[in-house]
Structure 1
């Protein structure tokens, strides 16, 4: 029995949101060991944004938007990319890539709590169980003495949690904001505006800018992969899947990404995976499952 082209495309799209998104933590970790964090993130998103607009022009996609939509893409770009991604990249100087991915997997928990606080949404019993399990998982994750004893580790963990609040608020904002109807165009404006704001932040913090020719080959390849695969291909795959399969299936990336990140960090960077981290992962991801079982909270690709 032959496999249809659509089936193959769906399988490749899932590979993209599972493995590529899961690997972006490793790629950022490699790049940030040599490049200043805000410079790294700004180059990634500015180049990706420009490439998206070039592709849109080639495909004859209309990229014109209203002033309100432009303002809203700037706000979303700041919440998801300038602050949300930029600070995570900064935190990766002090936090293992797998650890960061596992902490970020609790994002649906933060979204749910913000919905309760800001919108007065009722929380189901299943979601309450998920919230409790989520907090237990986070506690098990961050209470490991061998991790907390590392320099600036606690600061990195706190900043990642603040970024999760930014992403969560961004998720609620884009749910109601007037944004470009074309996901590709919407992403392009967010990446370009978010990248420009990151570049401004980089200059304000006095980061040193160097030409790509002076970077090591590992950093060059990591940046290329972040731009082409992490920013363009994976997010396009994400939006494609939202159109052809159920949101519940797309949301499974929430569970797979941290596992991929943990394995890659351990395999390539020799990052430590403790027994307590494994238990924390199981408890935390179970909590996320309970939260998503009643209300699917879509992962935000542009934040990765």
Structure 2
């Protein structure tokens, strides 16, 4: 059996690499169910907008405090970096997270997470536009993953909801494009200030969309919805999302997007266990094929020679 090893050699901050991976693997795997619970009282764009604004304000307040300390290495974003944060935040949060929450209204949370496994395929696709030629193994992985996504979209869960398919296609396209731009053409401010600026900009865009759609919360908020929202702010945004941006900046693309290999399994199991969601045998098979494609892509990336 051929062994599979991710390239875990970071560009910097090696001590944070493993915690960042675990945060993306475990926490993000559970956030899909938390999003579904929060939808009981908070519509999708309002839920996501308030979530990221709250997390961004908390993190930026810490950055501002740290920046005033003697000998501080933390700084506030420049005007140019704020512009970058607006574009990247609009794509990753406004499009990616807003549409993911919208899909949760129509499709089981585990299946939403399984669809997100297409992100590494799309990152490869955006790389093609940037002139990067995938290896043969990556081509095979993209073809395999695409076949799995097609089967998943034709399964009972998605077949009953064209809106869910449309939302997830838009979400994965915008999230993956934002991920690529944040590490190439539109770099954010370093460290926590960059994370905070993106969450603030993305949160503002989400709130604007929510207002345009006329979304309104259901009052009083259901206790489970409120707890889920708080979990998303602290763990999903402050911890896991910051961890992902750290991986994008300090690890290989294969490592940064490897969460897509683990999240669907965790989300599917949690959805079946805690929310009584049902997943058909054909959908499990489609998930397996999609994840096999992701595995092949990651294997191809980790074994490819450096550019």
Please say whether Structure 1 and Structure 2 have the same fold, judged by a TM-score greater than 0.5. yes
2:64·2:76 contact (CA, 8 Å) conserved in 1? no
Match of 1:290 in 2: 296
Gaps of 5+ in 1: 1-5, 297-304
Match of 1:134 in 2: 145
Match of 1:173 among 176, 181, 192: 181
Equivalent position SS for 2:134? coil
- What is the rounded CA distance, in whole Å, between the counterparts of 2:253 and 2:137 in structure 1? 19
Deviations 1:83-127 (A, max 9, x none): 1111111111001110010011111111212222x2233222111
When the two chains are superposed, the root-mean-square deviation of aligned CA atoms in Å is 2.5
Match of 2:282 among 267, 272, 276: 276
Gaps of 5+ in 2: 1-12, 303-307
TM-score by length of structure 2 reads: 0.84
- What is the rounded CA distance, in whole Å, between the counterparts of 1:263 and 1:272 in structure 2? 10
2:95·2:171 contact (CA, 8 Å) conserved in 1? yes
For the pair 1:219 / 2:225, whether they are aligned, the reply is: yes
Mean alpha-carbon deviation: is it higher for 261-270 or for 56-65?
56-65
Deviations 1:9-48 (A, max 9, x none): 7765443222111111011011113211111011000000
2:110·2:269 contact (CA, 8 Å) conserved in 1? yes
Equivalent position SS for 2:125? helix
Q: Give the Å deviation of 1:253.
A: 2.0
- What is the rounded CA distance, in whole Å, between the counterparts of 2:126 and 2:197 in structure 1? 26
- What is the rounded CA distance, in whole Å, between the counterparts of 2:56 and 2:25 in structure 1? 22
- What is the rounded CA distance, in whole Å, between the counterparts of 1:42 and 1:164 in structure 2? 18
Match of 1:24 among 12, 28, 31: 31
Deviations 1:149-188 (A, max 9, x none): 53xx122112211221111221222222343442211110
Work out the number of aligned pairs and report it: 285
| Structure 1 pair 90–72 and aligned structure 2 pair: CA distance change class (3 A) | same
| Structure 1 pair 113–195 and aligned structure 2 pair: CA distance change class (3 A) | same
TM-score by length of structure 1 reads: 0.85
For the pair 1:50 / 2:57, whether they are aligned, the reply is: yes
- What is the rounded CA distance, in whole Å, between the counterparts of 2:273 and 2:186 in structure 1? 43
- What is the rounded CA distance, in whole Å, between the counterparts of 1:135 and 1:57 in structure 2? 44
Equivalent position SS for 1:215? coil
Match of 1:101 in 2: 113
Equivalent position SS for 1:59? helix
Match of 1:157 in 2: 165
Alignment of 1:58-97 (within 5 A): 58-60=65-67, 62-97=74-109
| Structure 1 pair 173–294 and aligned structure 2 pair: CA distance change class (3 A) | same
Deviations 1:63-84 (A, max 9, x none): 4222221111100010000111
2:116·2:260 contact (CA, 8 Å) conserved in 1? no
- What is the rounded CA distance, in whole Å, between the counterparts of 1:164 and 1:206 in structure 2? 25
